[in-house]
Chain A
Amino acid sequence: MYAIEVEKLRKEFKSYSSRSGLAGAFRDLFTRNYKIIRAVDDISFTVKQGEMVGYIGENGAGKSTTIKMLTGILTPTSGRVVVNGMNPHKERERFVQTIGVVFGQRSQLWWDIAVQESFRLLKKVYRVSDQDYNEHMDHVIETLDIGPLLDKPVRKLSLGQRMRCELAAALIHNPPLLFLDEPTIGLDVLVKLKIRQFLKEINEKYNTTILLTTHDMTDIEALCERVIMLDEGKIIYDGSLQHLKQNWGEGRQIHFQFRDMVSKEELTSLVHVTWEQGEDRYNWIAHVRTNDMAHVIGQVVSSYELKDIHIREVSTEEIIRNIYEEGIHHG
């Protein structure tokens, strides 16, 4: 059984444009110009129970719109959505009992009162028994290290502290499916690591399915084996992160630091690869295929005196950037 099944899902918005000038404003009172914008354009995918999927795309690619349709907040224009075996907007109250959602930019906790009061309310709302709550939440609270924060009002928490509490709040009813919309936005490295570690743990322990949107590729690398990539409402890639890296991230960057100044022409005539200048003319970066690495380094080392050299894999971030700039079919 699939946790999420989406077939030819489409969402269109009417976008009104106003005419210019005073006369235009008067005309707008009676008839308004609008065009239909397709935020999500006939996408289809399935997610298995227990998968951790990264849902990525630029701002406005349709990520949030998809999540809102999957959680039952928005109604699709057309297409079929089945999540946890249910239609999200048809059986809303029963359905939301089976999902947890964290919106990184929107708090779900009650601002003015202690965190534990929010937890207590949510426990009642999701009808979690005392026994289940204690068993499950004691562990969550300990792992996320939020015990000392529970009696503080939410407004007094730092962003990192709040985010950990948000995550715990989304898990009170131990849902089999978790939607995370930019959960690490604005957090420092340590908190990010802690949150990732925690997500991995609950995924292993409860086989929780996680759908994650983020702009931080390191999140995806740390957590997701599979990525779905969205551009202008369409899925442009759906597959393993490994595969994406192999096809796109093939090759290495070798950073040479020379003792003397060199020019691009000299280097290109020495070895015919793409050379890119670093911060000055002492620093040059060669983009090479993995197989050619030894050859290039050998040539350079034998011809020039070097101060430093290091080899770098192409980061996922760069891969993604390249795909958006050049289109997926290039590779």
Chain B
Amino acid sequence: MGKYIEMIRMRFLMMLAYRTNYYSGIFIYSINIGAYYFLWSAIYGGQPSIQGMTVEQMTTYVAIAWMARAFYFNNIDREIAMEIREGKVAIELIRPYNYLIMKTMQGLGEGIFRLIFFSLPGMIIVTFVFSLHFTTNVQTWSYFALSTVLSFIINSQINLLAGMVTFFTLNGEGLLRAKRFIIDLFSGLILPISFYPQWAQSAMHYLPFQAISYIPSMIFTESFTGNEAIKGMMFQAVWCVVLIVPIYLLWKAAKRKLIIQGG
């Protein structure tokens, strides 16, 4: 276990080495949140609520969804693809650890870094500018924390899967881009799932994406409370477990197929 914790620390240091990149990030996220804030305010107009969400819940949803994204988002899919392309996986295979767990830990190091240096200062800036509603309910906060950890796991698992597919295609740039877009759209980052047409909602119930952004954000805005919040987290937990199966199979197949390019 020590080695995995060390890896989190390592990635944290790496991010720290390039911290200036992140100051501009805070700015960009704030602009994003601002744009959605005004967009939703305009859409609501005078209406007190749409689809059971008030305008305040909606704007808070948008803000928290973006800030949570900073935590669960990582580039390990791209890194895996790059390490395969450049043959660096070879080096990873001569180390006494599990490559995929190591990659996930790197993602976690990145996530913790962004949470501290990005989400928290960003959130403070945003609350000064816009009127958002943050609950003081401890239970909501702890549900949200747990739910965000689960969304990190699911997002990382999907990233591992996407990265590993490049073992077989050897160039997955288009695929990775499509995956990113699908996650932003179907996870509920741009639009809450409850705003989708009924058929799409039921289709998405069979997909893992809403576990990434929709569920934690709904919990935070207290649109999901009590049983509904528990049900949401169960949905996340089930996906965490289910996704292990394709990861395991794909990794086995990938190792068998491993061709180290350029060496």
A contact residues vs B (CB 8 Å cutoff): 13, 64, 68, 71-75, 92-94, 96-97, 99, 101, 103, 105-106, 108, 110, 112-113, 117, 120-121, 124-127, 153
Across-interface contacts of B6 in A (CB, < 8 A): 120-121, 124-125
Nearest 10 CB-CB pairings of A with B: A124-B6, A125-B3, A124-B3, A93-B96, A97-B96, A112-B17, A124-B2, A73-B90, A96-B96, A121-B6
Across-interface contacts of B259 in A (CB, < 8 A): 13
The CA of A99 and the CA of B95, in the complex, are separated in Å by 9
CB-based contact B95/A113 at 8 Å:
no
Given contacts A117-B13, A124-B6, A125-B95, contact A68 B18 (CB under 8 A): no
Tell me if B10 counts as interface (CB < 8 A to partner A). yes
Beyond the given pairs A75-B256, A124-B3, 13 more chain A to chain B contacts, judged by CB atoms under 8 angstroms and listed by A's residue number, are A72-B93, A93-B98, A96-B93, A99-B94, A103-B263, A106-B88, A106-B263, A110-B10, A113-B17, A121-B6, A121-B7, A125-B6, A153-B17
CB-based contact A73/B93 at 8 Å:
yes
Across-interface contacts of A153 in B (CB, < 8 A): 17
Tell me if B230 counts as interface (CB < 8 A to partner A). no
Q: Looking at the complex, which one of B3, B18, B94 makes contact with A73 (CB distance below 8 Å)?
A: B94
Across-interface contacts of B3 in A (CB, < 8 A): 121, 124-125, 127
CB-based contact A73/B10 at 8 Å:
no
Q: How many residues of B contact A (CB 8 A)?
A: 24
Bitwise, B240-263 to A at CB < 8 A (1) or not (0) is 000000000000000010111001
In the complex, what residue of chain A is closest to B86 when comparing beta carbons? A106
Tell me if B125 counts as interface (CB < 8 A to partner A). no
Bitwise, B77-115 to A at CB < 8 A (1) or not (0) is 000000000011011011111100000000000000000
Across-interface contacts of A106 in B (CB, < 8 A): 87-88, 90-91, 263
Tell me if B146 counts as interface (CB < 8 A to partner A). no
Bitwise, B138-178 to A at CB < 8 A (1) or not (0) is 00000000000000000000000000000000000000000
CB-based contact B96/A103 at 8 Å:
no
Q: Looking at the complex, which one of B13, B87, B96 makes contact with A126 (CB distance below 8 Å)?
A: B96
The CA of A127 and the CA of B1, in the complex, are separated in Å by 10
Across-interface contacts of A117 in B (CB, < 8 A): 10, 13
Across-interface contacts of B7 in A (CB, < 8 A): 121
The CA of A124 and the CA of B2, in the complex, are separated in Å by 6
Tell me if B14 counts as interface (CB < 8 A to partner A). yes
Across-interface contacts of A113 in B (CB, < 8 A): 10, 13-14, 17
